[in-house]
Every structure is written in C-alpha cells, then in structure tokens.
Amino acid sequence: MTVPTQDPSDIRDAPTEDFIARSRRLFPVEAELDRMLTRKMRKRAQPRNPAAYSLDALVGCLERFLEDHGGPGQRIGNPRWMAGGASKIQVAFTLDRPADGGGTEQLDLVMRMEPAESINTTSRLREVQLLDFFQDKLPVPKVRWLDDDARWFPEPAIIYDRASGVTRPTDQENRVSGIGQRFSTKLRQELAPQFMDALARIHTADPAAVGLEAFHRPELGTTESALLQLNRVRRVWHEDHHFSFPLFDAAGNWLERNLPVLDHATILHGDFRAGNFLFDEGSRRITAWLDWERGHIGDRHRDLAWTTTSSFGNLAEDGKTFLVSGLIPLDEFYHEYERRTGLPVDPARLRYYRIFNCYQIITTALCSAWRIVHLGKTHQDVLIAWVEGVGYSQAQELRRLLLEEL
C-alpha cells in the first residue's frame, strides 16, 4: 500500500502547537473531548504505519495486554475482522482462560479501537462509562477491559463481550450503517415497542449518577449545552476543512444566534437508530444496543432529531407513512416518547437540532472524511470516501431548513 504524502502548504496536515492552542481557545469543548481532539491533532503529522494495524499486529497487542491483565494460561483463538461500522476498528476473537474453581472457560470477545484517525474522534473512556452505567438497565455488551491511554494498542481501545444477534433481517439487502433499513410488518410490531422502551430508559436515567465522571453536566436554564455542541462541530471543521463553504458559515451563525435554553439534562445515546441495535430473529428480541461513542449529557431534542432523520427511515407499504428507523410512524413515535418519558417534545428545539445535525453531518462527510482519506489514516478508505457524497445531500437539506426558518 502506498501511503499518501502530506501537503506542506496545509497546516492542517501537520498542525503546530500554536495552531492547536488557537483551535482550543476559539472553540472550547468538554474536557474529555478536548483531550481526544488535542491528541488527534498532535498525532496527525505522524506517518501512518499500516503494519501496526494489521490483524497479526493487533493480535500481538491483545496477547501483551492480556498477559498483563489476565494472568497466565490464556489463549486467543479465531481472531477475525468484524464487518460494519465506518469509524472504528473491531476484531472478534475467543479467549480460553482458567475458570474460577478449576477447568477453563471460553469468552467470545470484541476489541474495539480507533483507527489512526477516525471520522468521529470520540472517547473510549466515555463509551465504557455508558456501557457500565446501562448494564442493569438495557441489553448492552459487558466491558472487560479498557486501554484508555493506548499503552498496549496503537490507539485507545476497549475489550467487551460479543453480543449475539443481527442488525437487519437476513433476507434483506444490507445497507451502509443501517441507513434506510426495512423491517416486515410483523417484525416492526415486535421491535418498535422495544425501540421506544430503550430510548425512554436512556432519556429518563439520572445524568448525575455515579460512574459518569468523564461527562460534563451542562447548567439548566442556560444555552451552555447547545454552545458546547456547536463548538465541538466548529472545532472539527476548523481542524479538518480544506475549502471554503459559505452555506456552512451561514448555518453556524444562525445556530449561534438561536441557541436553545436547556430545560432538562438528559443522557443521550448520540446515534440511536436502526443499525445500532442487534436482535434475535427467532425471538424478535433486541439483544444489544451498540455504538455509544457519541453519547453525552445534553438536550433530548438532539437525539430525537437524529433518530427521526429521513435517511434513517423509510416509507411504509402505503408509500406515504414515514417510519422512524423503519419501525414506527413519526406521529406515533413522538406520542409514545412523551407517554413513556413524561418529557414534552418542543417543535422549535426539534427544528434547531435538525439544522444542527445537518451541520454536523456535513462536517463529518466533507471535512473529516476527506482529510483522513487524503492522509491515508483510515482502514476503510473506499467506504469513507463514499461518505463524502452524503455531505452534499445534507447541504441541500440544510439549505432547505434554513430557508424555512428565515
């Protein structure tokens, strides 16, 4: 593989400490996200070493990690890449180890790690804290270990139990990241109530509970929550962009002028939709909720606007009724949400976060995706390059939404 060369004229390919410091000053974000974004920028100029991310190399990392954490008598078996996901490297494997009371036990595990640079720079520590927090509240994978400072792996990584189930019916066409996934009427009847129950459990959980120390709790009655999220996207754009985009600038100005006040602090999944849960086809039960990497504490309308995005759903058999994540009609979704949570849905804040979500997707697709493909920093170059195309349809949607507001 030929590793692309960096452009010496583009400071974003090899950012200086002054550039990084200025970015941090301009766009203050939560402390844990600042730590991860700063780490990303300081590592960016380092040339990619594809050999360090090969399956054999990662198995070697696993062996050294488990030797230091699990003791003697452990054996890794059947290591293999896991398909799916555009932003993380995932390796499935079995682990045979001595069992309490004698004999051996076999664990079916997954190692989940950042690539050299991700389209979504997120915190494994926060992901672990959410998974631990929801262990007794939702079906989520059990975390076994965390390498938060990348001491054993090339990047921060977690090791957790591999959950059983599928993301889509096996007789259905596979779709990238679950976009536009379809379910039969019978399957919808079984999955939709579980889908709504999980969202309600997340949004009614106590964000002040012990165990979420890596999360910032925004102040109620202020615009702090929305501003921190806006700064996060603006910082990523500032650090990744490679062209001028007046529509993006106009949207950012509108978002800043219309920051909503936080009325209720909510734990957010960040990517709650079809494609991010597994279910058992026989029992029609959801077996695991995955991909908590974008989780944070903030305004529930951010999740609601994201989950109801048109590209994550489809039309029912009548060709008219929009199904949220292919599961539940939109009006019924809002009604069930308010009934299950006791929290109102504010149309104005919903519209704000629809605009914000377009703004974020454009940043991911047109900036971060381009930058990491340009630098050869991803394990899925073809898929990430494809993601760039999503940015233009989202730009058209952003333009439409802004015109409605103006």
Domain boundaries, the chain: 48-162
Q: How confident is the model at residue 256 (pLDDT cuts 50, 70, 90)?
A: very high
Q: How confident is the model at residue 86 (pLDDT cuts 50, 70, 90)?
A: low
Strand order across the 314-315 sheet: 314-315, 322-324, 328-329
Lowest mean pLDDT among 52-61, 149-158, 164-173, 210-219: 164-173
Confidence (pLDDT) at 178: 63
Confidence (pLDDT) at 406: 86
* Selection from 324, 322, 333, 323 nearest residue 273 by Cα: 324
Q: Which of 120 and 26 is assigned the larger pLDDT? A: 26
Q: Which of 372 and 288 is assigned the larger pLDDT? A: 288
Alpha-carbon distance 96 to 107, whole Å? 6
Confidence (pLDDT) at 84: 65
Does the structure show a pLDDT above 90 at 159? yes
Average pLDDT over residues 131-155: 97
- Residue-wise pLDDT for 322-363, tens only, equals 999 999 999 999 999 999 999 999 999 999 999 999 999 999
Alpha-carbon distance 247 to 251, whole Å? 6
Does the structure show a pLDDT above 80 at 172? no
Quote the crossing angle between the two packed helices 246-257 and 224-240, to the nearest 10°: 160
Q: Judge residue 37's burial from the number of C-beta atoms within 10 Å of its C-beta, 0-12 exposed, 13-18 middle, 19 or more buried.
A: buried
Q: How confident is the model at residue 189 (pLDDT cuts 50, 70, 90)?
A: very high
Average pLDDT over residues 20-31: 98
Q: How confident is the model at residue 4 (pLDDT cuts 50, 70, 90)?
A: very low
Average pLDDT over residues 37-49: 92
Alpha-carbon distance 51 to 69, whole Å? 25
Confidence (pLDDT) at 170: 84
pLDDT, averaged across the chain: 92
Does the structure show a pLDDT above 90 at 59? yes
Q: Which of 357 and 387 is assigned the larger pLDDT? A: 357
User: What percent of the chain is predicted at pLDDT more than 70?
Assistant: 96
Q: How confident is the model at residue 173 (pLDDT cuts 50, 70, 90)?
A: low
Confidence (pLDDT) at 381: 76
Query: Which residue has 């920028």 as its token pair?
Result: 41
Quote the crossing angle between the two packed helices 185-204 and 300-307, to the nearest 10°: 170
User: What percent of the chain is predicted at pLDDT more than 90?
Assistant: 79
Average pLDDT over residues 36-53: 91
Average pLDDT over residues 391-406: 93
Confidence (pLDDT) at 387: 81
Does the structure show a pLDDT above 70 at 310? yes
Q: How confident is the model at residue 2 (pLDDT cuts 50, 70, 90)?
A: very low
Determine how many CB atoms are found less than 10 A away from the CB of residue 178. 20
Does the structure show a pLDDT above 90 at 390? no
Q: How confident is the model at residue 99 (pLDDT cuts 50, 70, 90)?
A: confident
Q: Length of the chain, please?
A: 406
Q: What sign has the CA pseudo-torsion 3, 385, 304, 26? A: positive
Does the structure show a pLDDT above 70 at 3? no
Query: Which residue has 């759903």 as its token pair?
Result: 313
Cα pseudo-dihedral 384, 385, 389, 390, rounded to 10: 10
Q: How confident is the model at residue 311 (pLDDT cuts 50, 70, 90)?
A: confident
Confidence (pLDDT) at 177: 59
Q: How confident is the model at residue 140 (pLDDT cuts 50, 70, 90)?
A: very high
Report the CATH number of the 48-162 domain: 3.30.200.20
Q: Which of 172 and 281 is assigned the larger pLDDT? A: 281
Q: How confident is the model at residue 376 (pLDDT cuts 50, 70, 90)?
A: confident
